[in-house]
Amino acid sequence: MSATGSLSERDAATLVAATWHLTAVRCARLDTERDDSFHVVAAEGEFLFKLAHPDDSASVIDLQSAALAHAASMGLAVQEVVGMATIGGRIGRLLSWQLGAPLDFTPTPAEVERLGAALGSLNAALASFDHPAARRALDWDAARLPASRALLAEFPSPEAAEAFDRFDQRVAPRLRELPRQLIHNDFHQGNILVNRDDERFVTGIIDFGDVTHTARIVDVAVALSYLQHPLGVADESPFLAGFERHVPLTDLEREVLPDLVAARFALRLLLNAALQRGTPDNRSDAGGGWARTRAALAAHLERNP
């Protein structure tokens, strides 16, 4: 168990049963970028088992768990950490399993507004939380886009280059003026659980692995990039209306938002390409995602000159 992806479903079931004394355990691997994650079904119930990446420190794992606990204490639908243990030199956590399905369809405008409200309520809750590990340097923070500039030479894209230029000219000079706090930073369709038969629509928000202290508006930029692609939501105003029911935005946040959406698109292009080094097409994330994400970024830049 020296690296992610090396733990089989059978071995995961054995570890979970032995560590947390569960019976009749079955595990199914979940697709994650960094850690080993499994859906656990046992006689005692359903759980999520996460075995951290070997390079993830105890302080970062504690940040994630503490942020979850804080959000839960504010009445939000997030997972509960049931147990934690060191397994083979890596930190393992057993979390509660949340009902609902990942968002895999284009939502209606009313549902988009509920998505915005769900992120707004989480953003508002996290505003009162902090942690010593929250200010770590995180590549996926769109407010730190310049830190990934070297990847432009390795994976050239004129669209990504334009996103960097816009950031340098329009966002970087104003970064210190933007409200800052801890944010979820990964509000995308795989981390949003929904149920159209539930009046809340959003039944859960999962995966706090990218929580970080940064510009508050980055949370919205992340969400809008994924709503545009691959969900295909063209009108972002219902999302903003829902978000601002809980967190009113400043004029400056509204001003820099389009360029931070572009920054997140650029990070998705470059960081996913870097993660795919050594594959037959090292610029292909999830079956041709490079071309689709690049086209989505180009469309966003054209709509927001």
Query: Domain of 73: which CATH number?
Result: 3.30.200.20
Residue 207's domain is classified under what CATH number? 3.90.1200.10
Asked which of 96, 130, 151 is the last residue of a domain, the reply is 96
* CA-to-CA dists, residue 20 to 37, 49, 69, 220, angstroms: 16, 11, 20, 37
Show the domain range for 29.
9-96
Q: How far is the C-alpha of 288 from the C-alpha of 267, rounded, in Å?
A: 16
Question: Are 148 and 203 in the same domain?
Answer: yes
Question: Are 114 and 56 in the same domain?
Answer: no
Among residues 191, 193, 168, 161, the alpha carbon closest in space to that of 270 is found at: 161
* Structural domain count, the chain: 2
Record the tokens describing residue 187, joined without a space.
């509000």
Q: How far is the C-alpha of 92 from the C-alpha of 53, rounded, in Å?
A: 10
- The one-digit pLDDT tens for each residue of the chain (305 residues) are 334 557 899 999 999 999 999 999 999 998 887 789 999 999 999 999 999 988 889 999 999 999 999 999 999 999 999 999 999 889 999 999 998 999 999 999 999 999 999 999 999 999 999 999 999 999 999 999 999 999 999 999 999 999 999 999 999 999 999 999 999 999 999 999 999 999 999 999 999 999 999 999 999 999 999 999 989 898 999 999 999 999 999 999 999 999 999 999 999 999 999 988 765 554 544 446 889 999 999 999 999 99
Asked which of 96, 129, 152 is the last residue of a domain, the reply is 96
Asked which of 65, 96, 127 is the last residue of a domain, the reply is 96
Question: Are 90 and 113 in the same domain?
Answer: no
